[in-house]
Every structure is written in C-alpha cells, then in structure tokens.
C-alpha cells in the first residue's frame, strides 16, 4: 500500500504519489511543487525525436527522458547520438539511437523499425530536425531549394506517413517543430520560409485526416532560439552574437528563446493535457509574430 500525503508547498514529509503512478522522495522541499507538476506522464511511452543531438531536438529528448519516456533518438552523427542517449538515460528515461540521414529513401522505415524493435510501438513523433540558409528569389538555386524542402518538409511528411499506423494503434500524437517564419514572411530566407509554411499546413491537413482515428498533430513555431541552427548556416561567432543582440529589438519580450522553453511546449502538446488540441501552430517566439517589419 502506498501512503499518500497532503499536498504541500514546503516541507514534504516523505514518500508521495505523483499523479497516482510514480512514488518518489523529495530530498529538497523547495522542489516539491515542480516535482508534483512534472509527474511522469510519459512513463513507458515510446517517443521518436528527430534532430535529437542538438538544439530543440536535444532539449526535447532530455525532457521526455526526465518524464520517464522511452526515446528513439534520430540523427546522422553517431558520436553525438551516443552523447544524447547518455543524457536521456541520466535524466531518467530509456534511449536507443537511430543513425540515419532523414532524406535517405529508407529513413522512415528504419526509424519506425527501431522504435518497434526497442519499445514495441510509437506514441509520439517529434519532427525537430531542420536547416536554414540565406537566399532570395533571385539567388536561391534549385539545389538550395531542394535541400531545404527535403529536410524541413519532405522528411517530416515521410516519417509521419510511415508512423501513422502505429500512432493510430496507440492514439498517439505528432509535434512538428516549425518556425515563426512559417507564420510570417521575412526577407532573405525564402526557401526556409516556404518550407516552414508548408510544414504548418502539413500539420493542419494531417490533423484533420487523423483526428477520426484519435491521433493529434500540432506544431510549435519558435522565434530566434539559442541553438546551433544559425551557426550551421554559416554565421561565425561574431555574427551570431550580433544576431542575438538584434533579437532583443525584434522580439517584444526583449530576448531570444531557449531550447528548453520550446521543449516544455512540445511535451505539453504531446501529452494528455493537450488532449483536445489538434491542428494548432503555436508561436513561442517572445511575441515576434505580432510585430511588423523593423
């Protein structure tokens, strides 16, 4: 028999029940409110995260780990995958790695098979992998356009299609990592804007089609977030520092976002707490989408 104690904000006296499923000892009483509200809602759930070795994908993978999930980490870099898997395990989850190029023809089947072999099914898919590059209507060539669409739009579509039967079996959910650029137009990143707008509409269309089968599909739309995304686009340290400084003016809340903040929203959308939400594209951008060009 498990002893349940009255909820307290200070001085938790001993074993407590978290959402009537998990028992823990709160060594630091000041952490009691957070410990209660972040109960292990994903315990024994199977979660696929692409782009899991850095940025928002890595933050989401670790957050799912802290919530007790079984996480399939998807990326191209084997050593980075090993590091991410260790972090998820240390956070309290279980992790397996799937080293694959998401644009490869067999990538969706390999990812789904990894989830089924390791954890027996799929409850959540998080499409967090993505790239950005500068380019205008005048200088974006076919190859640059195709690279952007292949990873930012085609890869999520193909993985969602391959995972759908397994998501239906568990009445699961999908969270796509889009961008404020999918909601608003910005100059100089033409292909990126279009790829994220396409991802938003993919989210809405899939949500309508899968709703009768109990599968929810939503997206998060971050503004500038402190990750390696822009550095990988070619920015050096000085340029990136100036870019973040500029974000203090372009984002009404006066700063860039953090990957962990976006991860928190991803977990909410994937959870039963968002059980009546589908087809939503939710800005988490410090108010950037509310502004006019400046």
What DSSP state is assigned to residue 79?
A: H
Q: Which residues pair with 282 in a beta bridge?
A: 220
Report which of 55, 177, 57, 49 is spatially closest to residue 123, judged by C-alpha positions: 49
DSSP symbol at 151: I
Question: What are the residues facing 216 on neighbouring strands?
Answer: 173
SS3 147: helix
Residue 240 appears among annotated catalytic residues: no
CA–CA dist 248, 49 (Å, integer): 30
CB atoms within 10 A of CB 233: 15
Structure-token match 């951008």, residue found: 285
DSSP-assigned letter for residue 189: B
Tokens matching residue 25 = 């000892």
Helix, strand, coil shares, percent, the chain, to 5: 50, 15, 35
One of 67, 172, 192, 200 is an active-site residue; which one?
192
Measured CA distances, 76 to 227, 248, 256 (Å): 17, 33, 27
> Chain-centre distance of CA 252, in angstroms?
23
Q: Could you tell me the two tokens for 221?
A: 């739309």
Residue 234, C-beta contacts closer than 8 angstroms, at least 6 positions apart: 133, 134
**Active site residue ranges:** 192
């Amino acid at each position: 028999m498990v002893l349940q104690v009255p909820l307290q904000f200070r001085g938790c006296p001993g074993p407590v029940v978290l959402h009537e499923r998990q028992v823990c000892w709160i060594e630091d009483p000041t952490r009691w409110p957070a410990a209660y509200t972040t109960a292990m809602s994903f315990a024994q759930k199977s979660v696929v995260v692409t782009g899991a070795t850095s940025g928002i994908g890595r933050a989401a993978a670790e957050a799912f780990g802290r919530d007790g999930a079984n996480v399939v980490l998807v990326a191209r870099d084997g050593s980075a995958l090993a590091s991410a898997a260790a972090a998820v395990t240390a956070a309290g989850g279980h992790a397996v790695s799937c080293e694959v190029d998401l644009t490869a023809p067999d990538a969706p089947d390999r990812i789904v098979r990894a989830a089924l072999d390791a954890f027996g099914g799929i409850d959540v898919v998080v499409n967090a992998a993505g790239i950005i590059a500068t380019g205008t209507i005048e200088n974006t060539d076919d190859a640059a356009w195709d690279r952007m669409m292949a990873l930012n739009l085609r890869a999520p579509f193909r993985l969602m299609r391959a995972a759908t039967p397994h998501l239906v079996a568990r009445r699961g959910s999908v969270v796509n990592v889009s961008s404020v650029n999918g909601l608003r137009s910005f100059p100089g990143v033409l292909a990126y804007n279009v790829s994220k707008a396409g991802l938003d509409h993919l989210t809405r269309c899939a949500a309508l089609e899968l709703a009768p089968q109990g599968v929810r599909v939503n997206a998060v739309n971050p503004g500038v977030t402190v990750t390696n995304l822009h550095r990988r686009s070619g920015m050096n340290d000085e340029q990136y520092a100036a870019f973040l400084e500029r974000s203090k003016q372009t984002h009404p809340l006066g700063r860039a976002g953090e990957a962990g903040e976006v991860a928190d929203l991803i977990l909410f959308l994937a959870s039963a707490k968002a059980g009546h939400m589908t087809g939503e594209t939710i800005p988490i951008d410090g108010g950037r989408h509310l502004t006019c060009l400046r």
